[in-house]
Amino acid sequence: MVNESEHWQKIEQFFIDNFDTEKNPPIETLLFLIGLQELGSGQQKYTKEDKVNLIHIAVCRLLEPFGYYKFTHYEDGWPQYDKLEELPELRPNEQSLLMKKAIIQYFQEEELI
């Protein structure tokens, strides 16, 4: 059985191979790229506000299976989510672990690993 660490290594390798990211890319980079995937608009110039929104899309999509957000509709081509539940107070390392777990689940659901 593959453990989380092995899944995470496969995900990091996926980003290195497909997006030319550095080894051990920051979680924000992964969230930005997942946001791009969810938006489906491909590579283009994005404003700083767009980049923040792309990361927000990724967080919403990743935490949807955990019951925190629900996709509702598209508005001007951008996915919209309703917050269903407040996130618990988490220490930075707990936030990182939750996001890594959510990213692993996303990659498994999308059959990318």
The sign of the dihedral angle between the CA atoms of 89, 92, 97, 98 is positive
Tell me: the pLDDT tens digits for 54-68? 999 999 999 999 999
CA distance 23 to 12: 7
DSSP secondary structure of 59-75: HHHHHGGGTSEEEEEEE
Tell me: the pLDDT tens digits for 10-56? 998 888 888 777 788 888 989 998 999 899 876 688 899 999 999 99
pTM (global) more than 0.75: yes
